[in-house]
């Protein structure tokens, strides 16, 4: 009822405005400044120097472009590469560069810039989290200014995808941790550390002109302050809302739009699969069955989010619903523990990052696992401690973490990864998926790998976050899925 | 000028009211804290209800995000607050009094140095000192919080102890004790401590209130009692995100905290009036 009344009203409004002699040619202000509220301030401006996810949010596709890009609906499409040829053996990729592209400093884009940009990511000193996925590149040639030839040691079906997060930077730019020189539709106009990062339309941009003049990312450290900023119109959009309780004030208010998109962020209880008792499949499966994930999800996210039963989110092409492999079944969990020789339960330490939602999730797990006589001792640690103790030294029994990336099932094919899952069959499948000749074959291999990982309960995948963007009704045209933490601002329209 | 008799009676009544109200509030928390040792409405970690239930007969203060009973958590919070307060004040009292007496008895330059050092330490808020101690130790837990708060409180106690002790040391009976050959430890035990105690105890009661608030602040910042210990500060922190949809979760721990601190302050006020006959005669 309510909906149809709203529709009727807007229809009447449309008729009224179109009849008016003062009707607007366009319903948005092309010179507007869009204020974007975010919790993820970058540490620096270089995505290969440990800047955090915030730099991808602010710069990917806005300030820097790549040869390809991952669109908001998960497709890989060419940007600076105007066309791509792949040799029959799949080992040589020839990219032709788009004509008429120049950097913000005024220099034209050449193949040397592309070569230097890829080498920045694969360099020894690079801290890019995806460096390993470009390790198959053996050489880059630049026969002329418009052509880049990339040689591989083996087939790499994800190369275009992997190149989508390799920023093309002017090779003369030098250190880009505090300045930029990209080809994107915006230039960096000001960066006030601790508060905001301002982007301004680049007038010589080669592509479609942005539908706003400037975009300012305003950074907040507290979600409540961020919500208040939106309520008071200090910001127009909030890139991702982290609690369902902050939403009520917006969903009940006609001045705001709440979008519920697909995220790639997974909350998981990661065991150290190298150490007892988590080296036993029965124990891991028992813990998977002992946790009522639907209830946990509801506790954290209310009616938002999704339980997916594995590490693969629905936006990955190889997604399969695997929630039935280890459904909630405390009795079955006890039986599995008994089978593993732990009929009386056991005790373990859960290293819990000190920020939301991990402490509350940890308490839920503590309560659920107590029912099958498994005692969980919580050890609260900082993000830095997590990185050194767990990610680098692998010194832990179990931990909680959220993994934000798209297509990151490949981590299970790396036995040296922090969780230490090592099944040679999975390692092979994941390696073969990368050398597959077609996307169909790649998808097939990864589906098989995912099935095995889930059957062996390599980790305890608790839930998939929702991606919730809230804005005032004045703005539209923003991305709603936030894959790989990107937030393209070029299409955002703000009404007068 | 003489005060009319009826006013004096009224103010004495008011005074005894503060002591009684203080005792009642603190006593209530004490009883609840002791009760939690043997009984709570629910197991504190039990997911007893649905998410963010409103208060009902079953859950008198509602439930939290995980569906745990909030009344249970708040009751256990009383125990944690009183434990931390008592232990921190005990540490602060022992350390502070020792330092203060040392300064009072010391030669001029040592006294000056200690007094200056105490003044510098007092310039740092207790909470800041406590946060530094927690940060320097290996991980936050209840005992580091207690130690940190005790250390943070000690300069305040030390300064007061020093001033009170210096005043006592000027008295004739001290000179008499000295000339009769009483040892320093004996002078401290027989003359100084009993004489500074009334003033010091009132201050310690006030410090207790401060310690309770500081513990809640530390826990709110994630530096106090780690989950699942139900410290009021942590309950407040967890309720922060749901303050619009379920305000009761933030209100009840707030009331608990305020009632205990007000109770302690009233108690301290009442104690001061009783220990300070000069003032109560006024």
Q: A357 and A340, same structural domain? A: yes
Q: Which of A302, A358, A363, A385 to mutate to test the interface with B (most CBs of B within 10 A)?
A: A363
Pick A367's closest partner by Cβ from B45, B241, B242. Answer: B45
Instruction: Give the pLDDT confidence score for residue A9 in this predicted structure.
Output: 40
Is residue A4 assigned to a domain? Answer: no
DSSP category for residue A60: B
Same domain for A422 and A303: yes
pLDDT at residue B11, rounded to an integer: 59
Looking at residue A208, the DSSP 8-state letter turns out to be P
Angle between helices B142-169 and B126-136 (to 10 degrees): 130
Predicted local confidence at residue B80, as pLDDT = 94
Of B45, B66, B244, the CB nearest to A299: B66
- pLDDT average, residue stretch B74-80: 94
Residue A95 clears pLDDT 60, i.e. is over it = yes
Residue B51: what pLDDT? 85
In a domain, A49, yes or no: no
A325-381 pLDDT tens trace: 999 999 999 999 999 999 999 999 999 998 888 999 999 999 999 999 999 999 988
**Per the domain annotation, does A179 fall within a domain?**
no
Residues A273 and A386 in one domain: yes
- pLDDT band, residue A141 (cuts 50/70/90): very high
Can you give the pLDDT at residue B14? 59
On average, the pLDDT of chain A sits at 89
Pairing of strands A186-192, A196-201: antiparallel
* Assigned token pair, A243: 């609690």
Specify the CATH number of the domain B5-280: 1.10.3720.10
Interface size A-B, in CB pairs within 8 Å, comes to: 59
CA-closest candidate to residue A177, choices A233, A185, A169? A169
Instruction: Return d(Cα A310, Cα B158) in angstroms, integer.
Output: 59
DSSP state letter for A211: S
Complete DSSP assignment for B28-91: HHHHHHHHHHH--SS-TT---S-TTPPP-SSSTT-B-TT--BHHHHHHHHHHHHHHHHHHHHHH
Residues on chain A bordering chain B, Cβ-to-Cβ distance under 8 angstroms: 223-224, 243, 245-246, 248-249, 295, 298-300, 302, 354, 356, 359-360, 362-364, 366-368, 370, 378-381
Q: What CATH number does residue A393 fall under? A: 3.10.105.10
pLDDT > 90 in chain A, percent? 70
- CATH classification of the domain holding A97: 3.90.76.10
In this predicted structure, the answer to whether residue A21 has a pLDDT above a threshold of 90 is no
**CA of A226: which chain B residue's CA is closest?**
B241
Chain A residue numbers with beta carbons less than 8 Å from the beta carbon of B140 are 380
With a pLDDT cut of 70, the percent of chain A lying above it is 95
B247 in contact with A, Cβ within 8 Å: no
Q: Where does the pLDDT of residue B278 fall: very low under 50, low under 70, confident under 90, or very high at 90 and above?
A: low
Together in a domain, A272 and A419:
yes
Residues A229 and A132 in one domain: no
Rounded mean pLDDT, B63-89? 93
Nearest chain B residue (CA) to A250: B244
Residues from chain A that touch B139, judged by Cβ atoms under 8 A, are 379-381
pLDDT of residue A315: 86
Residue A19 confidence (pLDDT) above 80: no
A79-88, A206-215, A386-395, B222-231: which range is least confident on average? B222-231
Q: Are residues A486 and A383 in the same domain?
A: no
At B1 the pLDDT is: 42
Please identify which residue in the block is written with the tokens 């890009």.
A69
Would residue A172 count as lying in a domain? no
Q: Does B138 touch chain A if contact means CB atoms closer than 8 Å?
A: no
Tokens found for residue A483: 């894959």
Q: Is residue A77 part of a domain?
A: yes
Mean pLDDT of B232-241: 88
In a domain, A175, yes or no: no
Per-residue model confidence (pLDDT) at position A13: 40
Q: What is the mean pLDDT of residues B171-193?
A: 88
Residue A254 shares a structural domain with residue A270: no
**DSSP track, A263-320:** EEEEEEEEE-TTSTTTTSHHHHHHHHHHS-HHHHHHHHHTT--B--SSS--TTSTT--
Does one domain contain both A154 and A227? Answer: no
| Coil, strand or helix at A76 | strand
Between helix B70-105 and helix B248-275 the angle, nearest 10°, is: 40
The neighbour count for residue B186, using CB atoms within 10 Å, is 11
Name the nearest CA neighbour of A309 among A148, A460, A414.
Answer: A460
Q: CA-CA distances (angstroms) from residue A222 to A6, A51, A181, A466, B141?
A: 34, 19, 31, 19, 24
Cα-Cα-Cα-Cα torsion A392, A394, A396, A401, nearest 10 degrees, comes to 60
Q: Which is nearest to A57 in space by CA: A436, A365, A478, A496? A: A478
Per-residue burial over A401-430, b if 16 or more Cβ lie within 10 Å, else e, is bbbbbbbbbbbbbeeebbbbbbbeebbebb
Q: Model confidence at A424, in pLDDT bands (50, 70, 90)?
A: very high
Query: Tens digit of pLDDT for each residue in B123-167?
Result: 888 888 888 888 887 767 888 889 989 999 999 999 999 999 999
Q: Which pair of tokens denotes residue A149? A: 């030839």
Identify which of A397, A440, A402 has the alpha carbon closest to the alpha carbon of residue A419.
A397
- CA atoms of A300 and A359, how far apart (whole Å): 11
Rg (CA), chain A: 24
The residue to which tokens 């596709």 are assigned: A61
Can you give the pLDDT at residue B277? 56
User: What does the pLDDT average to over A151-160?
Assistant: 93
Domain's final residue, options A163, A197, A221? A163
Nearest Cα residue to A91 out of A434, A407, A443, A444: A434
| pLDDT at A248 > cutoff 90 | no
With beta carbons less than 8 A apart as the criterion, state whether A466 and A301 touch. yes
Q: Are strands A374-381 and A346-353 parallel, antiparallel or unpaired?
A: parallel
Tell me what pLDDT residue A15 has. 40
For residues A398 and A496, the model is more confident at A398
Is A142 inside a domain boundary? yes
Tell me, yes or no, whether A301 and A249 share the same domain: no
CB A436 within 8 A of CB A430: no
pLDDT score for B271: 84
A351/A357 Cα distance (integer angstroms): 13
Compute the average pLDDT of residues A233-251: 87
The CATH number of the domain holding residue A244 is 3.40.190.10
Q: Provide the domain limits for residue A300.
A: 266-464
Number of structural domains, chain A? Answer: 3
Render B132-161 in DSSP notation, one character per residue. Answer: HHHHHSSS--HHHHHHHHHHHHHHHHHHHH
Query: Rounded to an integer, what is the distance from CA A353 to the centroid of its chain?
Result: 19
ipTM given for this complex: 0.76
Nearest chain A alpha carbon to B63: A299
Q: Do B66 and A360 make contact, defined as CB atoms within 8 angstroms?
A: yes
User: Hey, are the CB atoms on A246 and B244 less than 8 Å from each other?
Assistant: yes
To the question of pTM greater than 0.90 for the whole model, the response is: no
Out of B140, B222, B238, the one facing A360 most closely (by C-beta) is B238
């Amino acid at each position: 009822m309510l909906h149809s009344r709203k529709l009727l009203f807007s229809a009447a409004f449309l008729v009224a405005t179109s009849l008016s002699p003062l009707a607007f040619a366009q319903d948005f202000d092309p010179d507007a400044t869009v204020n974007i509220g975010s919790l993820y301030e970058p540490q620096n401006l270089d995505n290969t120097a440990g800047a955090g996810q915030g730099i991808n949010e602010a710069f990917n596709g806005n300030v820097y472009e790549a040869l390809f890009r991952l669109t908001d609906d998960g497709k890989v499409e060419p940007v600076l590469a105007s066309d791509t040829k792949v040799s029959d053996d799949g080992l040589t990729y020839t990219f032709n560069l788009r004509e008429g592209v120049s950097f913000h400093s005024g220099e034209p884009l050449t193949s040397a810039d592309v070569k230097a940009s890829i080498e920045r990511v694969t360099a020894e000193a690079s801290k890019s989290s995806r460096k390993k996925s470009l390790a198959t590149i053996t050489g880059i040639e630049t026969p002329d200014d418009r052509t880049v030839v990339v040689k591989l040691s083996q087939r790499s079906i994800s190369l275009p995808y992997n190149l989508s997060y390799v920023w093309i930077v002017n090779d003369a730019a030098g250190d880009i941790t505090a300045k930029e020189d990209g080809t994107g539709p915006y230039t960096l106009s000001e960066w006030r550390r601790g508060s905001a990062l301002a982007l301004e339309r680049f007038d010589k941009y080669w592509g479609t002109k942005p539908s706003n003049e400037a975009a300012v990312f305003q950074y907040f450290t507290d979600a409540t302050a961020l919500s208040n900023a939106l309520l008071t119109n200090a910001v127009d959009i909030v890139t991702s809302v982290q609690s369902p309780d902050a939403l009520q004030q917006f969903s009940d208010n006609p001045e705001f739009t709440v979008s519920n998109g697909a995220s790639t962020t997974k909350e998981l209880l990661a065991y150290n699969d190298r150490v007892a008792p988590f080296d036993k499949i029965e124990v891991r499966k028992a813990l998977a069955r002992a946790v009522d994930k639907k209830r946990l999800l509801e506790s954290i996210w209310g009616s938002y989010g999704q339980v997916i039963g594995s590490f693969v989110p629905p936006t990955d092409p190889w997604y399969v619903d695997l929630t039935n492999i280890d459904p909630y079944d405390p009795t079955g969990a006890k039986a599995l523990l008994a089978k593993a020789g732990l009929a009386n339960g056991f005790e373990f330490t859960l290293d819990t990052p000190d920020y939301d939602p991990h402490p509350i999730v940890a308490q839920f797990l503590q309560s659920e696992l107590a029912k099958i006589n498994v005692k969980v001792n919580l050890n609260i640690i900082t993000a830095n401690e997590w990185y050194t103790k767990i990610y680098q030294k692998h010194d832990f029994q179990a931990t909680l973490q959220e993994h934000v990336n798209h297509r990151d099932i490949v981590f299970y094919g790396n036995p040296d990864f922090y969780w230490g899952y090592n099944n040679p069959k999975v390692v092979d499948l994941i390696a073969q998926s990368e050398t597959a000749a077609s996307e169909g074959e790649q998808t097939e291999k990864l589906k098989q790998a995912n099935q095995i990982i889930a059957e062996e309960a390599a980790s305890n995948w608790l839930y998939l976050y929702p991606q919730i963007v809230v804005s005032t009704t004045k703005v539209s045209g923003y991305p709603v899925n936030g894959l790989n933490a990107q937030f393209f601002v070029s299409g955002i329209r703000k009404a007068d | 000028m003489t005060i009319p008799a009826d006013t004096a009676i009224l103010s004495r009544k008011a005074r005894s009211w503060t002591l009684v109200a203080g005792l009642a509030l603190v006593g209530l928390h004490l009883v609840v804290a002791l009760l939690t040792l043997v009984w709570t409405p629910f197991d504190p970690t039990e997911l007893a209800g649905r998410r963010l239930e409103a208060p009902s007969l079953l859950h008198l203060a509602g439930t939290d995000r995980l569906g745990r009973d909030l009344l249970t958590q708040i009751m256990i919070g009383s125990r944690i607050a009183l434990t931390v307060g008592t232990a921190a004040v005990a540490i602060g009292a022992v350390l502070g009094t020792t330092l203060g007496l040392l300064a009072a008895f010391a030669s001029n330059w040592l006294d000056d140095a200690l007094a200056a050092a105490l003044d510098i330490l007092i310039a740092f808020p207790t909470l800041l000192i406590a946060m530094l101690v927690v940060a320097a130790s290996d991980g936050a837990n209840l005992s580091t919080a207690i130690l940190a708060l005790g250390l943070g409180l000690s300069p305040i106690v030390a300064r007061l102890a020093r001033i009170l002790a210096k005043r006592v040391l000027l008295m004739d009976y001290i000179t008499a004790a000295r000339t009769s050959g009483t040892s320093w430890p004996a002078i401290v035990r027989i003359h100084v401590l009993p004489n500074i105690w009334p003033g010091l105890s009132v201050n310690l009661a006030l410090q207790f209130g401060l310690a309770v608030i500081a513990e809640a602040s530390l826990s709110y910042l994630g530096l106090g009692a780690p989950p699942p210990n139900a410290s009021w500060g942590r309950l407040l922190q967890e309720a922060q995100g749901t303050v619009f949809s379920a305000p009761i979760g933030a209100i009840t721990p707030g009331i608990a905290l305020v009632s205990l601190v007000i109770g302690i302050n009233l108690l301290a006020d009442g104690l001061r009036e009783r220990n300070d006959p000069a003032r109560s005669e006024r």
